[in-house]
Amino acid sequence: MAPRSFWKGYLKLSLVTCPVSMVPATTDNEKVRFHTLNRKTGNRIASRYVDAVSGKPVDEDDEVKGYQRGEDEYVMLEDDEIEAVGLASTRTIDIETFVPRDAIEWIWYDKPHYLTPDDPVGEEAFSVIREAMAATGTVGISRLVMYRRERSVMLAPRDRGIVLWTLRYGDEVREEKAYFAGLDSDKPETALMKLVARLIDERTTAWKPDMVDDPVQARLLELIAAKKKGRKRAAPKAKAEPPRPSNVVNIMDALRRSVAAEGKPIRKR
């Protein structure tokens, strides 16, 4: 059963408007979650805000946003002041511009959502916008209030629907040059490249979702099931020591041994 939409509004392109609904394309509902308990009573521990100086609890009505401008000095902002600088409409995805699909690199992608028409009457308008983007190889760029913040979003056609990606803010993405600029730019030897290519070829297979299964999650569920049945917990396993690289590494020799371990003979050059 498809999950219920968590957002409903309108998709707008110039004078064309259609009602749409949206759901996150990913979920963490199956993730094992824990509460913090009082070991003595078994009761949950409640968290609360306290004044950092007096240590006294703060009433919800007295909580206010603060922007730090100096040590122990803040500018207070009320909720209505913050809302006043936001978008005029939080329920309309107004496509402001289009860019080539490959112009936005993966590092800007944040969270995907499925966007679908919410009314049979508006389905034609939705389909026209989707198919036109697919035919031109473009994606739409808009702004939307989501998760309590105004965000730039990208709309990409996919199958019979549209995937809406929230995009990361500019100050969230670090420049790669700061990390990669000092790396050696010389290309590796051809012989080394051939051996690594053989390893890649041996290990290349079709993508399957179970490649990203979480084994720790599965073991946690087994542990919880055992505790429910009153079994004693097993002794913790010793942590594996990380491999220690040798000071001197013969790359060619290591690659030859790796290829040999894959089960195919190595032809001599």
Q: Which residues contact 114 (CB under 8 A, 6 or more apart)?
A: 22, 23, 24, 25, 161, 162, 163, 164
Looking at residue 217, what is its pLDDT? 78
Question: What confidence tens digit (pLDDT) does each residue in 14-59 have?
Answer: 989 999 999 999 988 778 888 899 999 999 998 889 998 999 999 9
Q: What is the pLDDT of residue 180?
A: 87
Q: What is the mean pLDDT of the chain?
A: 85
The pLDDT score that the predictor gives to residue 203 is 85
Q: How far is CA 153 from the centre of its chain?
A: 14
Predicted pLDDT of residue 240? 63
pLDDT, tens digit (0-9, with 9 covering 90-100), for 111-126? 999 999 998 988 999 9
DSSP 100-140: EGGGS-GGGEEEEEEEEESSGGGHHHHHHHHHHHHHHTEEE
| Structural domains of the chain, with CATH | 7-28+90-167 (2.40.290.10)
